[in-house]
Amino acid sequence: MSAKPKKTVHKKKHADEREPGVHQEPVPVLLFVILLLLAFWGMMYLHTNAGGFNRYVYGPFESYAMVSDVQPGSSDDPMKRGADVYKSICLPCHQSSGLGAPGQFPPLAGSDWVNVEGPNRMLRIVINGLSGPVEVNGQSWSGAMPGFGDLIASDEDLAAVITYVRNSWGNEASVCTPEEAALVRSESADRGRPWSSPELLNLSVEVQ
C-alpha cells in the first residue's frame, strides 16, 4: 500500500535532475576577448590618468612635465612674499589682523614701533627677539618674543616681511630693502640673546 507513492517519487527525481558530475567544457572564446579588452582598457586608463605613477603628479595634472611646466616663479613682489612669511611665522601671535591678542601680544597695526622712519629696531626684534616690559602706543606689555633670524633664512624674506608689516592694516612706513636686512643681520650675528625695550630705544630707528 505504501510502496506505490514511494516509487513515483523516485521516478520523478530521475526524470527531472541529472546526476551532478565533473565535466570538461571549453571556456567560451568570447570571455577571453572580453577579459583582454577589459585589461587593455584598464592599462590605457592607468596610462592616461596615473601620471606615470610619479609621486609628484597629483590630481588635475597629468604628467611630471605638466607639473613642472606650471611652477610659478618665486614672487618678486615683497608684499606678497612678506604676506606669506607673515602667515607662516608671525600670524599665530600677532593675528592676521595685525592686532595681536589683548594682554598677550602687542598689536602691529598702528603701532608706534612700526610706523617710524626706519626698520632698524623692527629688524633687530625679528632677528633676536624681545623680552621684558615694552610700551606700545602708551600701553605697557610684558612678554617675550623669540628671535626668528634663523627661521627666516633669506634676507629677501626678512626684508619682505618687515615691508609687509610696515605697509599693511593702515600702516604707512618705508620699505625695508634686503641690503638693510643683511646689514642688521650681520651686526647682530653674535648677539645671541633677545633685546630689551630700553636697549632698542637707544638705537636709531634707521639702519645705519
Please report, as ranges, the residues that interact with another protein according to CB under 8 A: 22, 53-61, 67-77, 79-81, 83-88, 91-92, 95-97, 101, 103, 151-154, 157
Shortest reach from residue 92's CB to another protein, in Å: 6
Question: What are the DSSP calls for 90-101, one per residue?
Answer: IHHHH-TTS--B
Cβ proximity to another protein, 66 vs 201, nearer residue: 66
Cβ proximity to another protein, 5 vs 103, nearer residue: 103
Question: What are the DSSP calls for 105-145, one per residue?
Answer: B---TT-TTTSSS-SHHHHHHHHHEEES-EEETTEEE--EE
Cβ neighbourhood burial of 95 (10 Å; 0-12, 13-18, 19+)? middle
Shortest reach from residue 116's CB to another protein, in Å: 23
Cβ proximity to another protein, 81 vs 121, nearer residue: 81
Shortest reach from residue 129's CB to another protein, in Å: 17
* Contact indicator for 143, 197 with CB cutoff of 8 Å: no
* Contact indicator for 51, 63 with CB cutoff of 8 Å: yes
Shortest reach from residue 85's CB to another protein, in Å: 7
Shortest reach from residue 67's CB to another protein, in Å: 6
Q: Which three cell numbers stand for residue 45?
A: 586608463
Residue with cell 500500500: 1
Shortest reach from residue 72's CB to another protein, in Å: 5
Cβ proximity to another protein, 47 vs 80, nearer residue: 80
Element (H, E) at 146: strand 144-146
User: Distance between CA atoms of 88 and 90, rounded to whole angstroms?
Assistant: 6
Cβ proximity to another protein, 158 vs 195, nearer residue: 158
Strands 129-131 and 139-141: unpaired
Cβ proximity to another protein, 35 vs 201, nearer residue: 35
